[in-house]
A and B are shown apart, each in its own frame.
Chain A
Amino acid sequence: AQSVTQLDSHVSVSEGTPVLLRCNYSSSYSPSLFWYVQHPNKGLQLLLKYTSAATLVKGINGFEAEFKKSETSFHLTKPSAHMSDAAEYFCVVSGSGGGADGLTFGKGTHLIIQP
């Protein structure tokens, strides 16, 4: 079975400083990995996806993630945090969450941006 572990439940950074949200995955084969963001009272939004085409994946709003097979990691980064980035972020793997293309979510990382 596939799973993801988000290493931090909360991350706090100052506006304008880099963001790092950590995710490790477990998979018996090459996984499809995603990062989703959830703003309060809004639906989940796809930030970026890894599907083996390239190890460095660029997403929306300046976020990117690097797939490292040797470390079984898929960390999310952004060079400079903005107040609007404050939200809940989920690392997600596809394929074992039920249903064709079902998703298995991590527990989430709450990103806090300090002014």
Chain B
Amino acid sequence: DTGVSQNPRHKITKRGQNVTFRCDPISEHNRLYWYRQTLGQGPEFLTYFQNEAQLEKSRLLSDRFSAERPKGSFSTLEIQRTEQGDSAMYLCASSAAGTGGYGYTFGSGTRLTVV
């Protein structure tokens, strides 16, 4: 297992376009999290899944954002009608239920630039 994998590493898109990111968690981890990190800030929680169920969404996750984890394995995060304010690093993390906050493994992130 090579850890949490995120693709693409970088994405440049024009304002108004849709983008989709993918996260492949550690295979035995049943929890998957999405965070967003803007320049000069710490990561902020967006949403999380336990298996295929999306159990919580942050108020940061506007209706232009949608996340899925269809088979409880990989996850996708889609942003529709991108805006310049969406420019950020999108981080994925996975953990096993019951490990607490110390069970996280983070991916390297997808850096989105909206021009």
**A 76-108 binary contact with B (CB < 8 Å = 1; else 0):** 000000000000001010110111111111111
CB-nearest residue of chain B to A97: B45
The reply to whether A107 and B42 contact each other, CB–CB distance below 8 Å, is yes
Within the assembled complex, what's the spacing in Å between the Cα atoms of A90 and B31?
Answer: 22
Q: Is the CB of A100 within 8 A of B31?
A: yes
Report 20 cross-chain contacts, Cβ distance below 8 Å, ordered by A residue.
Answer: A9-B40, A32-B100, A41-B108, A44-B91, A44-B93, A45-B106, A46-B102, A46-B104, A49-B101, A49-B102, A94-B100, A98-B47, A98-B48, A98-B56, A98-B58, A99-B31, A99-B47, A100-B48, A102-B45, A105-B44
Bin chain B's interface residue count.
20 to 34
Asked if B25 lies at the interface with its beta carbon under 8 angstroms from chain A, I say no
Chain B contacts of A92 at CB under 8 A? 42, 101
**Interchain CB contact under 8 A, A100 and B45:** no
List of A residues within 8 angstroms of B45 by Cβ: 97-99, 102-104
CA distance A98 to B31 in the complex (A): 13
Proximity string of chain A (1-39) to chain B, C-beta cutoff 8 Å, 1 when within and 0 when not:
000000001000000000000000000000010100000
Contact B101 A32 (CB under 8 A): yes
List B residues 42-91 near A (Cβ within 8 Å): 42-48, 50, 55-56, 58, 91
Chain B residues in the interface with A (C-beta under 8 A): 3-4, 31, 33, 35, 40-48, 50, 55-56, 58, 91, 93, 95, 97, 99-109
**Closest Cβ neighbor of A102 among chain B residues:** B45
Q: Which 8 A-B pairs have the closest CB atoms?
A: A94-B101, A105-B42, A98-B45, A99-B48, A44-B106, A43-B106, A49-B102, A43-B108
Q: How many A-B residue pairs have CB under 8 A?
A: 84
Question: A55 at interface (Cβ–Cβ under 8 A)?
Answer: no
> Is A32 within 8 A of B102, CB to CB?
yes
**Closest beta carbon of chain A to B51's beta carbon, Å:** 12
CB of B34, distance to nearest CB on chain A (Å) = 10
Quick one: which of A41, A103, A107 contacts B104, CB cutoff 8 A? A103
Report if A51 contacts B (CB, 8 A): yes
Chain B residues whose CB sits within 8 angstroms of the CB of A99 once the complex forms: 31, 33, 45, 47-48, 55-56
